[in-house]
């Protein structure tokens, strides 16, 4: 397989101004006629040089029927055709037209890239390089053209025909067929092309934009799901309003369509005016979707809508720039969610995910800069790094420039680049120029992989009343990058006085002047080492650093004591740092207990591990009482409380360990949860009672109601760790009585971790109740797959043959296989049975869908994090996979890079 490099970018030899597509959809064969108007883009030719060839991307399952240039059909000798490329030579001077006719078989397309069928309907997915699965084309994002699409199909089977832009014409034809013509007035790259044809029901709402344009908002789903689209429609209206209020960005057409499909590799796709969504990110009812689902739907509907400006109106020059649109759009959806719900809660959730998953990616063999330098398959670079770290980098501008400065930068970005395909450097330049600042050291975040380490030491001079923070940074090596430069790290911070209140910040400048920063300041740290001196500091403060997690770094504060952390947990005015202080305390304790449990040797069952943890000192009283204060604090929101008493994830801890043993770590974590539950039982029971929804109260999705359910269900989970019959039977009762999916799944997920008859009873009842709700069955599969119940690997194996499981559907694979990969106990079973199961599954799925298989093989990428026995077994699976004949490029790239 061939690598592509960012440094090799060259503009295309020709551009395309208009595209006319004609789809004749059929059960056997679908015929696509594509007429392109081409413009030379090669500039002046040297004396005697011939005009460049036109390389059109294709795929081996796309059959070329004929190709014409300037109205003349070419004979076989007049073009070159290989598996992936149609090359046209001896092209006319100036502008010219070509026509390409292809035949495809969407019904056989199990890759779900290009045109395919889902639940009997035709749909498309073209990002990143799926359009070449439809017709031969310049399949690259810097070729932007205006599209007209004619769709023809059997009217009975496919009454709804949708394309991008505006509907221009419809009509009936002989033989029960009909057609529709769609015209998109905005130039776009082909990855934003979309088509849907099928039997779908629709719900509509009208939105009036800030300038008074009426936009029809339509969601298309299968008939039986029409009752589950209101939340997505609400979310769309909120997104449109938010983008007008926050950035002055208005929608630009009279129609915005969303279609839900069951078989979809990604979450959703921002095709111009025809978003296609994985149905799990559209459909919601209180009985079938959890608070988390509601919140994800709101976030993803927003995300795809926001792409209309950040992605569609201004797009990427090449795929290496993916973070230009994704990092920025994730940042926008995070801000949207923060404004709609609770800002601190959203920030904590995002940082938890970043640390548990993106930091791991950035420390492993697949580490890459947010703007990668090379790839084999672009699909493999839709990563947490490009998306989530990319969003953190956009947040750096926001933190440094403030809301107003950030908006000015956005306005200049659109003024300069609307209608164009641009780069990350263009975005940085717009931000810098609009604010007249130098952001060169921020630019290094785009080219360096790895999580920077920030080391802070403090000193107080009581005589001079000065307080000094000395900051040092370094970024560890990553594949292909041994030496890194310092990056710009905005350190948002405050200093707490003895009463817990913020002190005024008076920062000494390099010229000796003093700058008044209020009580929360942002330090601009961009050298390998810098000291920041505060003046007029009457008593030694407790520093609160990196407030709101102002940069995606790993911070160590030299000499930070447990007492200081407890003080921050109790008093910090920054809610993120209150949470963070608790996390730091828990992390220290967990790592200490893990070290003790590992050193003592012996059996790895939960009881033996618990004895060793107790012998090592158990959970200190100070921590218990700090958690007690949080739980009983009347002013704190339930969602915040629930996160404050949650321990750092296993992944985050493994990242800090060398050669960790996942099941052992799991037992240590569970030991701490159980000790906390034992000592905080009265508080937990009180919170469960006081946060139960009043009887008969209907489900509402809003911050207050979610907060109540969050803390109640967190307390129940902690209580369930006690494994007392009385609690278990209470959980079963709650499971049976639940009136919404949030509470139902919360109880079920506790029961699934317990060995005993209640587990089986609940799982069977749940299956019976929801056997006709495929999205709910994903939860049923996922809970069992992820369960840490002993010996669960054999149950998971049997689920593969269960009628509820469908291996050709990506969501099913994600729930079952990726879910299993998250189980510290069973995926990492000491006998290697979990690894063997996953290895088999990767190879099986790779025969169906390369993108899904590539995500699954990522479960092995972290192999160097574990103990030597596990490393050897995981490596053996990777070697077996790499050696497999006919392996896809997707899986090959991840597996082979993981082994390096
Ligand atoms: N549809 C995916 C997203 O919105 C890829 N663009 O992130
Ligand atoms: Zn996106």
CATH number of residue 436's parent domain: 1.10.390.10
Q: Answer yes or no: do 573 and 700 share one domain.
A: yes
The C-alpha angle with vertex 391 and arms to 385 and 393, in degrees rounded to 5, equals: 90
Instruction: Find out whether the beta carbon of 330 lies less than 6 Å from any atom of ligand 1.
Output: no
Per-residue confidence band for 693, with pLDDT thresholds at 50, 70 and 90: confident
Q: How far apart are CA 608 and CA 625, in angstroms?
A: 26
| CATH number of domain containing 242 | 3.30.2010.30
Going by alpha carbons, the residue nearest to atom 1 of ligand 1 is 269
Ligand nearest to the CA of 128: 1
Mean pLDDT over each residue of the chain, to the nearest integer: 97
Determine which helix (DSSP H) or strand (DSSP E) holds 801, and give its type and residue range: none
Closest ligand, as measured to the CA of 281: 1
pLDDT digits (tens, 9 = 90+) for 432-464: 999 999 999 999 999 999 999 999 999 999 999
Q: Given the CA of residue 387, which atom of ligand 1 is nearest to it?
A: 7
Nearest CA to 872 out of 664, 659, 663, 653 is that of 659
Q: Which ligand is nearest to the CA of 191?
A: 1
176/292 same-domain check:
no
User: Which of the 8 DSSP states describes residue 647?
Assistant: P
The tokens 């002989």 sit on which residue? 174
At a CB cut-off of 8 Å and minimum separation 6, what does 658 contact? none
Q: Supply the pLDDT for residue 5.
A: 98
* 551 and 626 belong to one structural domain: no
State whether 23 and 152 are in the same domain: yes
Indicate which ligand has the atom closest to the C-alpha of 265. 1
Ligand 1 pocket: which of 189, 270, 299 to mutate (most atoms within 8 A of CB): 270
Domain assignment present for 720? no
Q: Are 642 and 582 in contact (CB under 8 A)?
A: no
578 and 657: one domain? yes
Q: How far is the CA of 267 from the centre of ligand 1 (A)?
A: 7
Closest approach atom of ligand 1 to CA 268: 1
End position of a domain, from candidates 715, 730, 747: 715
Q: Same domain, yes or no, for 168 and 276? A: no
In the residue annotation, 361 being an active-site residue is answered as no
In this structure, the answer to whether residues 611 and 698 fall within a common structural domain is: yes
CATH of the domain at 804: 1.25.50.10
For the chain, the domain total comes to: 6
With respect to residue 867, please indicate whether it lies within any of the assigned structural domains: yes
Q: Which atom of ligand 1 approaches the CA of 303 most closely?
A: 4
DSSP lists the bridge partners of residue 102 as: 32, 64
Q: 301: domain range?
A: 200-308
- What is the C-alpha to C-alpha distance for residues 896 and 774, in angstroms, rounded to an integer? 35
Q: Is the CB of 281 under 6 A from ligand 1?
A: no
* Prior bond of 121 cis (ω within 30°): no
The CATH number linked to 35 is 2.60.40.1730
Identify whether residues 775 and 875 lie together within a single domain. Answer: yes
Distance 325 CA to ligand 2 centre (A): 7
| Residue 858 lies inside a defined structural domain of this protein | yes
Give the pLDDT score at 781. 98
Taking residues 104-123, report their average pLDDT.
98
Confidence of residue 613 (pLDDT cuts 50, 70, 90): very high
Which of 160, 180, 199 is the last residue before a domain boundary? Answer: 199
Q: Tens digits of per-residue pLDDT, 216-270? A: 999 999 999 999 999 999 999 999 999 999 999 999 999 999 999 999 999 999 9
pLDDT in tens, 859-881: 999 999 999 999 999 999 999 99
Q: Quote the pLDDT of residue 148.
A: 99
Say yes or no: CB of residue 269 within 6 Å of ligand 1.
Answer: yes
Query: What is the per-residue pLDDT for 392?
Result: 99
Residue in 129, 152, 304, 744 annotated catalytic: 304
What would the pLDDT profile of 799-809 be if each residue is shown by its tens digit?
999 999 999 99
Beta strands in 405-510 (DSSP E): 421-422, 453-461, 466-474, 489-496, 506-508
Describe the strand order of the beta sheet including 96-104 as a list of residue ranges: 72-73, 63-69, 96-104, 30-40, 14-24, 145-154, 177-188, 166-172
Q: Angle 703-720/291-306 helices, nearest 10 degrees?
A: 130
DSSP annotation string for 726-773: HHHHHHHHHHHH--SHHHHHHHHHHHHTS-SHHHHHHHHHHHHHTTT-
User: Given ligand 1 and candidates 268, 306, 311, which is best to mutate, with the most ligand atoms within 8 Å of its CB?
Assistant: 268
Q: What distance in angstroms lies between residue 678's CA and the mean position of ligand 2's atoms?
A: 44
541 and 397 in a single domain? The answer is no
DSSP state of 847: T
Ligand 1 contact via 379 beta carbon (within 6 Å): no
Q: Which of 199, 225, 260 is at the close of a domain?
A: 199
In a domain, 47, yes or no: no
- Say what the pLDDT of residue 696 is: 86
Query: Whole-angstrom Cα distance, residue 712 to residue 322?
Result: 40
For a pLDDT cut of 70, what percent of the chain falls above it? 100
Residues with CB under 5 A from ligand 2 (ion): 326, 329
Cα 745 to ligand 2 centre (Å): 29
Tokens, residue 864: 């160097």
Domain assignment of residue 732, yes or no: no
CB 255 within 8 A of CB 273: yes
ipTM value greater than 0.95: yes
pLDDT tens per residue across span 85-113: 999 999 999 999 999 999 999 999 999 99
CB 273 within 8 A of CB 253: yes
Whether residue 898 lies inside any domain: the answer is yes
Give the C-alpha separation, 2 to 5, whole Å: 10
Is the Cβ atom of 388 under 6 angstroms away from ligand 1?
no
Provide the pLDDT confidence category of residue 522 given band limits of 50, 70 and 90. very high
What pLDDT score was predicted for residue 600? 87
> How does pLDDT run across 712-744, given as a tens digit for each residue?
999 999 999 999 999 999 999 999 999 999 999
Residues 552 and 565 in one domain: no
Asked if residue 189 and residue 210 are part of one domain, the reply reads no
Please give the Cα distance from 613 to 717 (Å, whole number). Answer: 21
CATH of the domain at 501: 2.60.40.1840
- Residue 499 is predicted with a pLDDT of 97
Does residue 626 have its Cβ closer than 6 Å to ligand 1?
A: no
Residue 841 lies in a domain: yes
Global confidence as pTM: 0.99
**Size of the chain in residues:** 900
Q: How confident is the model at residue 695 (pLDDT cuts 50, 70, 90)?
A: confident
Note the pLDDT of residue 521. 98
Atom of ligand 1 nearest to the CA of 311: 6
Q: Which pLDDT score is estimated for 422?
A: 99
Are both 433 and 470 inside the same structural domain? no
Share of the chain above pLDDT 90, in %: 98
Q: Candidates 128, 267, 324, 378: which one to mutate for ligand 1, based on the most atoms within 8 Å of Cβ?
A: 267
Return the beta strands (E) in 262-354 as ranges: 268-269, 274-278, 315-316
Does 8 reside within a domain?
no
Average pLDDT estimate for 686-702:
93
**Ligand 1: residue whose CA is nearest its atom 6:** 269
């Amino acid at each position: 397989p061939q690598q592509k490099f960012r440094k090799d970018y060259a503009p295309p030899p020709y551009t395309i101004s208009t595209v006319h597509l004609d789809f004749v959809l059929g059960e056997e064969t679908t015929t696509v006629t594509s007429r392109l108007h081409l413009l030379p883009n090669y500039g002046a030719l040297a004396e005697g040089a011939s005009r460049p060839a036109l390389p059109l991307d294709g795929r081996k399952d796309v059959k070329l029927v004929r190709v014409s240039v300037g109205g003349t059909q070419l004979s076989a000798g007049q073009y070159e055709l290989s598996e992936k490329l149609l090359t046209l030579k001896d092209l006319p001077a100036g502008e010219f037209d070509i026509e390409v006719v292809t035949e495809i078989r969407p019904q056989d397309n199990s890759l779900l890239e290009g045109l395919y069928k889902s639940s009997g309907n035709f749909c498309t997915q073209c990002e990143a390089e799926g359009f070449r699965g439809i017709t031969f084309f310049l399949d690259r994002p810097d070729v932007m053209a205006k599209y007209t699409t004619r769709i023809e199909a059997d009217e009975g089977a496919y009454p709804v025909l949708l394309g991008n832009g505006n509907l221009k014409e419809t009509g009936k034809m002989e033989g029960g067929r009909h057609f529709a013509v769609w015209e998109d007035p905005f130039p776009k790259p082909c990855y934003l092309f979309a088509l849907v044809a099928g039997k779908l029901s629709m719900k509509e709402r009208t939105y009036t934009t800030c300038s008074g344009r009426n936009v029809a908002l339509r969601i298309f789903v299968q008939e039986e799901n029409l009752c589950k689209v209101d939340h997505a429609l609400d979310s769309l209206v909120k997104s449109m309003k938010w983008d007008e209020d926050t950035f002055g960005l208005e929608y630009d057409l009279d129609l915005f369509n969303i279609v839900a499909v069951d078989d979809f590799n990604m979450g959703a796709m921002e095709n111009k005016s025809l978003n296609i969504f994985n149905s799990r990110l559209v459909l919601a009812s209180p009985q079938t979707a959890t608070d988390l689902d509601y919140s994800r739907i709101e976030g993803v509907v927003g995300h795809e809508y926001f792409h209309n400006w950040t992605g569609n109106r201004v797009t990427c020059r090449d795929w290496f720039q993916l973070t230009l649109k994704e990092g920025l759009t994730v940042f926008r959806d995070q801000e949207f969610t923060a404004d709609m719900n609770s800002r601190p809660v959203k920030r904590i959730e995002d940082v938890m995910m970043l640390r548990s998953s993106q930091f791991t990616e950035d420390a492993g063999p697949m580490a890459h800069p947010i703007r990668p330098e090379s790839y084999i398959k672009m699909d493999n670079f839709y990563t947490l790094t490009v998306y989530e770290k990319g969003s953190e980098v956009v947040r750096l501008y926001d933190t440094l420039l403030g809301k107003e400065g950030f908006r000015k930068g956005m306005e200049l970005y659109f003024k300069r680049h609307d209608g164009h395909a641009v780069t990350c450097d263009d975005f940085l330049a717009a931000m810098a120029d609009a604010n007249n600042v130098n952001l060169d050291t921020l630019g290094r975040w785009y080219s360096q992989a790895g999580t920077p380490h920030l080391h802070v030491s403090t000193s107080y001079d009581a005589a001079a009343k000065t307080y000094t923070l000395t900051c040092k940074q370094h970024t560890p090596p990553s594949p292909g990058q041994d030496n890194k430069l310092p990056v710009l790290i905005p350190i948002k911070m405050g200093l707490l006085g003895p009463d817990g209140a913020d002190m005024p910040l008076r920062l000494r400048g390099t010229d000796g002047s003093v700058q008044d920063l209020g009580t929360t300041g942002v330090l601009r740290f961009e050298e390998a080492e810098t000291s920041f001196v505060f003046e007029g500091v009457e008593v030694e403060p407790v520093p609160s650093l990196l407030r709101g997690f102002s940069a995606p770094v790993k911070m160590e504060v030299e000499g930070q004591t447990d007492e200081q952390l407890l003080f921050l947990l109790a008093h910090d005015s920054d809610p993120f740092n209150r949470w963070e202080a608790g996390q730091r305390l828990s992390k220290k304790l967990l790592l200490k207990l893990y070290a003790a449990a590992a050193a003592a040797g012996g059996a790895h069952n939960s009881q033996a591990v618990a004895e060793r943890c107790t012998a090592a000192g158990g959970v200190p009283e100070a921590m218990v009482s700090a958690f007690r204060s949080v739980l009983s604090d009347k002013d704190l929101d339930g969602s915040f409380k629930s996160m404050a008493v949650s321990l750092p994830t296993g992944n985050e801890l493994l990242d800090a360990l060398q050669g960790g043993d996942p099941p052992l770590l799991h037992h240590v974590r569970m030991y701490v949860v159980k000790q906390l539950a034992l000592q905080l039982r009265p508080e937990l029971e009180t919170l469960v009672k006081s946060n139960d929804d009043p009887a008969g109260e209907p489900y509402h999705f809003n911050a207050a109601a979610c907060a109540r359910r969050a803390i109640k269900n967190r307390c129940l989970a902690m209580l369930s760790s006690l494994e007392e019959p009385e609690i278990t039977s209470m959980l079963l009762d709650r499971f049976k009585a639940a009136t919404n999916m949030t509470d139902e799944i919360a109880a079920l997920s506790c029961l699934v971790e317990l060995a005993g008859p209640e587990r089986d009873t609940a799982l069977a009842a749940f299956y019976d109740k929801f056997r006709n709700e495929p999205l709910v069955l994903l939860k049923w599969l996922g809970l069992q797959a992820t369960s840490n119940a002993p010996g669960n690997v054999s149950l998971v194996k049997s689920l593969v043959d269960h009628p509820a499981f469908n291996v050709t559907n990506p969501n099913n694979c994600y729930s079952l296989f990726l879910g299993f990969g998250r189980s510290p106990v069973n995926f990492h079973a000491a006998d290697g049975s979990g690894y063997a199961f996953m290895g088999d599954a990767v190879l099986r799925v790779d025969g169906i869908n390369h993108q899904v298989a590539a995500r699954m093989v990522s479960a092995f990428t972290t192999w160097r994090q574990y103990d030597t026995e596990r490393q050897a077994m995981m490596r053996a699976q990777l070697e077996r996979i790499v050696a497999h004949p006919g392996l896809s490029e997707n899986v090959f790239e991840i597996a082979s890079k993981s082994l390096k």
